[in-house]
Structure 1
Amino acid sequence: MQVVSTNTTRLCSSKSVVSINGKVPGPTLYAREGDNVLVRVHNHVPNNITIHWHGVRQLRTGWSDGPAYVTQCPIQSGQSFLYNFTLTGQRGTLLWHAHISWLRATVYGAIVILPKKGVPYPFPKPDGEKVIVLGYSLQVASGKTYLLRIVNAAVNDELFLKIAGHKLTVVETDAAYTKPFTTDTIFLGPGQTTNALLTADQTAGKYTIAVSPFMDTVVPVDNVTAVGFLRYKGIQPFSPPHLTATPPINATAVTAAFASGLRSLNSPNYPAAVPQTVDHSLLFAIGVGVNPCPTCVNGTKTVADINNVSFVLPTVALLQAHYFKLQGIFTDDFPANPPSPYNYTGNPPANLQTTNGTKVYRLGFNETVEVVLQGTSLIAPESHPIHLHGFNFFVVGKGLGNFDKGKDPSSFNLVDPVERNTMSVPTAGWTAIRFRADNPGKTM
């Protein structure tokens, strides 16, 4: 991969951006389950760069995960770095992207993990496959079925996707197979991927592909619908398209219906290994707080927090502290529960606690963990995207309002919950996940 500057044009305006191999999005990485992957990244721009392989489990290869100053030093201008990891127990579609500053906005692409040779898909073999990084045009043939590998590479936006006149059958999310689920609307959070089958079963023509944002609170967003086209072979490019209506921007019910329809495949070949017992039960309240900021206009700034703690970069690099065994940089005092009382649904707390170190919650190898993530602030963005590096997890429960530990666990799905590496916690709602701590050296 060559990190270079390239000119790109959007809406009649051109500017220079950082890219991979001069393309936005960058190249699609193709591999098979079980392959050892070697990717050398050469940095030819003034900016530091790292690459995160979003969703790859990185079993004992955490140094190839990509977060700058956490698992690796950034690749400086004129330097290169070799990423080396094995794709273990995963097949489907994932995302790669820059993991430093805001370079993720232009440095990103898809990862396609094919099954091992000779191993079929657990669904009818499609006639073709298309990678969609939400910016596209598709050409199809009547009567054929296509596997669409859909990637949300947006930095912050949750998105709806619809194709006029066509249904989509979801068969995989975040490189984990699902029970076939048919819908007319796909919903993806930042970094999420979805594989869906599309059959070209409509009258030959040109059909609108619409991507629109989801936002169900008062935070302003760029409410723009991006449009592409599904074009049947033989149809003229300038034929008038069939249009589709996008969901309302605050269509919470649509997002809830999509989430509730997702289930792990849970077949003999692909069982859902949902932890039935829990060694550690954690409650993380996720919200927005206010910190002093002498250089800001109002003297304060909003910051994200978990359990009323917001991370502040330490003055000593994390890798430096680990290598030289420096004390006081890593601390084990991260609270397993939010402070009490905690205002789940009101205004953000003032004078938010911060830390100049890295607070961690340490787990034993192969212990099982349940985390309930509680959304807290009504003025926060529509939801809180959560990505767990190095692990997949099962989404065993979800609801609105405050989590009730005496009642809500009885509704958990411990049979076939969807398996993901990224998900969203609803505003003033909660999501419960379970996973096994089987990847030494990784932290949440």
Structure 2
Amino acid sequence: MVKVVGLFVLYALLFYSANGKTHHHTFVVKSSSYTRLCTTKHILTVNGRFPGPTLRAQKGDRMIIKVYNKGEHNITLHWHGVKQPRNPWSDGPAYITQCPIQPGKKYTYRIHFTTEEGTMWWHAHLGWTRATVHGAIIIYPKRGSLYPFPHPHGEVLIILGEWWKKDVMEIERNATIAGGGPLISDAYMINGQPGDLYPCSKPGTFKVTVEHGKRYLLRIVNAVMNDKLFFAIAKHKMKLVGTDGCYTKPLETNYIMITPGQSMDVLLEANRHPSLYYMAASSYFTIVDTEFDNTITTAILQYNGLYHRSPSPLMPHLPAHNQTQAATRFTKKLRSLASKDHPARVPLKVDTKLFITLSINLVNCSSKPCEGPYGKRFSASLNNISFITPSIDVLRAYYYGLDGVFDKDFPSKPPNAFNYTGNNLPQNLLTPDFRTKVTVLKYNARVELILQGTNVFEGDNHPFHLHGYSFYVVGWGFGNFNPRRDPLRFNLIDPPEQTTVGVPRNGWVAIRFRADNPGVWMMHCHIEDHQEWGMKSVFVVKDGANPQTQILPPPHDLPEC
């Protein structure tokens, strides 16, 4: 059982810098033995922990994290939602901003927290290694500052994850060879525990004890590989106050829908009759006629005190797996705080417009039939370009001017216009072009990006993550984006500020940001299958005119390929 800890309990602060304190951490990546669902297996961990260590700092602080790879697989680490100003060298996606840390090698990440405040997370960024290599990042307000909401009496970290009885790296390899979808997980998890609805799990169910009449801040991360999740607590309302390290206007809700990659901060009032209550999560799944993990993971919220008898925990009402209406009711209410201390700096005018389609594709197999639909292999694309990962990282090639690694002509709109969300689309739309193409942006460009879902083969809700930036979600809708009508309804006053946004199934999302962070920054679907199949791309943001607006030089210990 875990008791809620008081706020502002930070780990050791080793020394000061000009912009806050600097924290030093050591991460050792290694294989560790864990038992879940009656099965014991070795998984890749950091410091022997699953989930991994929680990093805590305050706004404006820095971190220096030395990573030693003592495992059997290549590894990189990404600090999800951290802008890393001018320092893409520490961003982490393999073969985009660095070569992997090979077994027996090490690399030091240098992290600077600037505008971020709230809950974020870190995770491996090389294939399925992130299934077990991940943990939370908590950024408290700057010294002398307060939360822009009622002060909580304590906090609870909730990391939503998954468990497979088989080796996840083997699952990835087999799916790549066969060309079909990977095995679905055997269980969802809360803080590394499936919950007592699964076999062999009751002794390990995560429990948290609260005091009646007190307020708690729940810090929730979706570290699941491929599924969006509904999350709720029996008989309790929640009040959303932050997403992806950015504050929101308080939003009272019975449940949240959180996509892979997203993090959310919610307030919980412990105001119910003292008893036991389940907090639970289940999938939000939008693809029809496809197998998915339809189980429910639980943890127990327990009020402190003596009970005359041991009651069974009450189960919350979770929306049905295909309830797009429920997901939409929640997400459409999100608004940024847009206050004096936390303003919404939405670009009101734009000079760079991009329109990108998101598609699941099918391609022919070279010899025997694959295990995808119609005997084909799954692929995925943006503007019909399926990204080919290069053999050396894009950042190194860009910084040193190496030819032949990537092309700078990623299309700013689809090469062929069609009814993106129509039914029975032409067969030729299923085959993408395989290339390594990037989009080059001028420094300080004001960018509007339309992400348009398509029904090529099968539509899905795609959680899209942009590295190096937060962005404002100024609009969204179902069907095809209408460039004449839809911009008239954009919210340019208080749109939610996020780093990961769910693009609705057969719908679209409009985001805006200012390209004021020079470097090489990845953009991709955070459903791991889709990213591995090629649903990703890269923004190269040029240097500004003075040294303070230019990429920092590479570190001396940058891994070699």
TM-score, normalised on structure 2? 0.76
In 2: Cα distance, 1:24 partner to 1:381 partner: 33
1:263 aligns with 2:335: yes
CA distance in 2, matches of 1:8, 1:305: 36
Q: Distance in 1 between matches of 2:392 and 2:51?
A: 34
Report SS of the residue matched to 2:260.
Answer: coil
- 1:28/1:381 CA distance change after superposition, 3 Å: farther
Matched, 1:76 2:147: no
1:398 touches 1:430 (CA, 8 Å); kept in 2?
yes
Q: Map of 1:258-337 to 2, 5 A cutoff?
A: 258-294=330-366, 297-298=369-370, 300-315=376-391, 317-318=393-394, 321-322=397-398, 325-337=401-413
Match of 1:51 among 77, 83, 96: 77
Instruction: Report the aligned-residue RMSD.
Output: 1.7
Q: Is the 8 A contact 1:264 1:417 kept in 2?
A: yes
State whether structure 2 residue 428 is matched by structure 1 residue 352.
no
Which amino acid in the other structure matches residue 35 of structure 2? T
Cα gap change, 1:245/1:379 in structure 2, threshold over 3 Å: closer, same or farther? Answer: farther
Distance 1:120 1:83 in 2: 29
Q: Which segment is superposed worse, 330-339 or 291-300? A: 291-300
Gaps of 5+ in 2: 1-26, 161-189, 191-205, 522-538, 540-561
Matching of residues 23-422 of structure 1 within 5 Å: 23-134=49-160, 135=190, 136-218=206-288, 219-235=290-306, 238-294=310-366, 297-298=369-370, 300-315=376-391, 317-318=393-394, 321-322=397-398, 325-345=401-421, 346=423, 347=425, 349-350=428-429, 352-356=431-435, 358-377=436-455, 379-380=457-458, 382-422=460-500
Which secondary structure state, in structure 1, belongs to the residue aligned with residue 413 of structure 2? coil
Task: Specify the SS of the correspondent of 2:107.
Answer: strand
Tell me, in whole angstroms, the C-alpha distance in 1 between the residues paired with 2:407 and 2:97.
Answer: 17
**How many angstroms does 1:325 deviate by?**
2.7
User: Which letter maps to 1:25?
Assistant: P
Q: State how far apart, in whole Å, the 2-side matches of 1:268 and 1:251 are.
A: 37
Q: CA deviation at 1:328?
A: 3.0
Deviation at 1:293, TM superposition (A): 2.5
Partner of 2:529: none
The CA deviation at 1:381 is 5.9
* Counterpart contact for 2:97–2:396, Cα < 8 Å: no
The two structures have a TM-score, normalised by structure 1, of: 0.96
* Amino acid across the alignment from 1:177: Y
Q: Distance in 2 between matches of 1:315 and 1:22?
A: 30
In 2: Cα distance, 1:315 partner to 1:46 partner:
20
Q: Deviations over 1:348-375 (max 9, x none)?
A: 645623234x211111111110011110
- The equivalent position to 2:43 in structure 1, one of 17, 25, 28, is 17
Q: For residues 216 and 242 of structure 2, what CA distance do their matches in structure 1 show?
A: 14
C-alpha contact 2:281 2:297 (8 A) present in aligned 1:
yes
Q: Deviations over 1:136-191 (max 9, x none)?
A: 42211100000000110111110010000000000100000000000010110001
Shift of residue 238, structure 1, vs aligned partner: 4.8
Q: Answer whether contact 1:294 1:300 (CA < 8 A) is retained.
A: no
1-structure distance, mates of 2:367, 2:304: 57
Equivalent-residue separation in structure 2 for 1:268 and 1:317 (angstroms):
40
Partners of 1:183 and 1:271 in 2: CA distance: 24
Q: Matched residues in 2 for 1:95 and 1:146: separation?
A: 20
3-state SS of 1:321 partner: helix
- Aligned mates of 2:247, 2:428 — CA distance in 1: 41
CA distance in 2, matches of 1:79, 1:439: 29
| One-letter amino acid matched to 1:289 | N
SS in 2 for 1:391: coil
TM-superposed CA distance for 1:297, in Å, is: 2.7
**Is 1:441 matched up with 2:512?**
no
CA contact (8 A) 1:177 1:264 kept: yes
Please report how far the alpha carbon of residue 317 of structure 1 lies from its aligned counterpart in structure 2 after TM superposition.
4.8
The 1:28–1:238 alpha-carbon spacing in structure 2 relative to 1, beyond 3 Å, is: farther
Q: What one-letter code is carried by the residue in structure 1 that aligns with 2:277?
A: Y
Equivalents in 1 of 2:159, 2:516: separation in Å?
31
Count matched residues.
443
The DSSP-based 3-state class of the residue aligned with 1:268 is: coil
Shift of 1:235: 4.8
Q: Give the aligned residue type for 2:287.
A: T
Counterpart secondary structure, 2:378: strand
Percent sequence identity is 46
Could you tell me how far apart the structure 1 residues matched to 2:238 and 2:491 are? 24
